[in-house]
Amino acid sequence: DAGVTQSPTHLIKTRGQQVTLRCSPKSGHDTVSWYQQALGQGPQFIFQYYEEEERQRGNFPDRFSGHQFPNYSSELNVNALLLGDSALYLCASSLEITAGNEQFFGPGTRLTVL
Amino acid sequence: QKEVEQDPGPLSVPEGAIVSLNCTYSNSAFQYFMWYRQYSRKGPELLMYTYSSGNKEDGRFTAQVDKSSKYISLFIRDSQPSDSATYLCAMRRGSTLGRLYFGRGTQLTVWP
């Protein structure tokens, strides 16, 4: 049973550029959440997608946007990159119908902005 | 004040020791409590998941939740060098909206 997968593993961009990160949820899961983890910090919630719609958002600017596809996979887009966007970007998947909605994380995409 | 507080450590113990990790929180609406283990430069791995107050045991791991004190703990018995990692506490409200609120993580080293 494949777990959550993310691509690419690493990415280096320069300030002002745009980036797209991808996530495939665990088999059978229908909800995808994205988190940003700066070095030495806990993950911070960016947003969550369910039924192809963003239904909850954390305290991140509009430069951060996303999409969920009919097969439940998801993309995170970041425009006008800043040095402070350098972080590990984590995708987590869960199944909406389960009472606990346990979230399982992928390995992350490490983004470096120069 | 952050919603979830966790001492970042580092914490260093000998193999076989009992490890105690804890978090405090301020939002009384939190009802689901989790502990994740994160190895260096990897994604978090779900270790323990509890609902409301009480204890939960899984092998060498025990999670405790005291909602009256807004305090959660993770105990690791007979610690092993392979337990060396960062331990993140996380929690969320009782609604179906699944946003997790994380502590900053405690870095644990178990030396042989």
| pLDDT higher than 70, residue A1 | no
| Chain B residues close to A41, C-beta within 8 Å | 104-105
CA distance A70 to B96: 21
Amino acid at B86: T
* Average pLDDT for chain A: 94
Position A100 confidence tier, pLDDT thresholds 50, 70, 90: low
- Summarize pLDDT for A33-79 with one digit per residue, the tens: 999 999 999 999 999 999 999 999 999 999 999 999 999 999 999 99
Amino acid at A75: E
CA distance A42 to B26: 17
Position A99 confidence tier, pLDDT thresholds 50, 70, 90: low
| Chain B residues close to A40, C-beta within 8 Å | 8, 104-105
CA distance B56 to B92: 18
- Residue B98, pLDDT score: 77
Picking from B41, B46, B104, the nearest residue to A102 by CB comes out as B46
CA distance B93 to B108: 28
CA distance A47 to A39: 20
CA distance B108 to chain A (A): 13
Count Cβ atoms within 10 A of the Cβ of residue A91 and give its class: 0-12 exposed, 13-18 middle, 19 or more buried.
Answer: buried
- Summarize pLDDT for B32-88 with one digit per residue, the tens: 999 999 998 889 999 999 988 889 999 999 999 999 999 999 999 999 999 999 999
Q: Is A83 helix (H, G, I), strand (E, B) or coil?
A: helix
| Chain B residues close to A94, C-beta within 8 Å | 98
CA distance A89 to A29: 19
